[in-house]
Amino acid sequence: MASRDLDTAHARPEGVPDELVAAVGAFSEMLERIERARGALYEFHQLIGGADAMLDDVVDGLRKTGHDGWADRIERELVGRNVIPGHWSFQIVEEFDDGYYDVLRALERGVREDTMDGRRHVFEAEMKQRRRTHGEPHHDATPQDG
């Protein structure tokens, strides 16, 4: 793909082979999938926290209607319970962020910096160039061209 058709932020560095652009593009896509999974993990965290807080209303309602036994049991066995051994959901999020996620981000960035001069989405930018209809409205190479 000719670099002149792309803004320099997305142009393939000189001499980089197609296979490397594809590999780095796949690594970036993998990171994007993990970003989505991370969002789901944060959603899990917030849903668990909100649901646990709702148990206060459940316990109060059971007590007000004379079901102290159930209220006591829910309070003792479920309110504040770890979602997995030793962990509330915030701890799961922190361990994921500080472990797998941080390592992944550092490696993906390092590969991009070393092989693509730090440029992001080189694979996608080249795909855009192949798929767009040159000279047609709304098929500009860059935002500045429109």
pLDDT of residue 9: 85
Instruction: Give me the sign of the Cα torsion angle 32, 38, 44, 49.
Output: negative
Instruction: Tally the domains of the chain.
Output: 1
Q: Helix/strand/coil (H, E, C) string of 78-100?
A: CCCCCCECCECHHHHHHHHHHHH
* φ, ψ of residue 84 in degrees (nearest 5): -135, 160
pTM of the model: 0.83
Q: Which of 146, 136, 122, 144 is nearest to 3 (CA)?
A: 122
Q: How confident is the model at residue 140 (pLDDT cuts 50, 70, 90)?
A: confident
Q: How confident is the model at residue 143 (pLDDT cuts 50, 70, 90)?
A: confident
Look at residue 2 and tell me whether its pLDDT is greater than 80. Answer: no
* Domain assignment of residue 36, given as a range: 3-145
Look at residue 137 and tell me whether its pLDDT is greater than 80. Answer: yes
For 106-134, what is each residue's pLDDT tens digit?
Answer: 999 999 999 999 999 999 999 999 999 98
Q: In whole angstroms, give the CA distance from residue 115 to residue 110.
A: 8
For 88-101, what is each residue's pLDDT tens digit?
Answer: 999 999 999 999 99
Distance (Å) of CA 105 to CA 32, 68, 141: 10, 50, 28
DSSP string, 36-81: HHHHHHHHHHHHHHHHHHHHHHHHHHHHHTT-HHHHHHHHHHTTT-
Distance (Å) of CA 101 to CA 28, 85, 98: 13, 21, 6
For 50-97, what is each residue's pLDDT tens digit?
Answer: 999 999 999 999 999 999 999 999 999 999 999 999 999 999 999 999
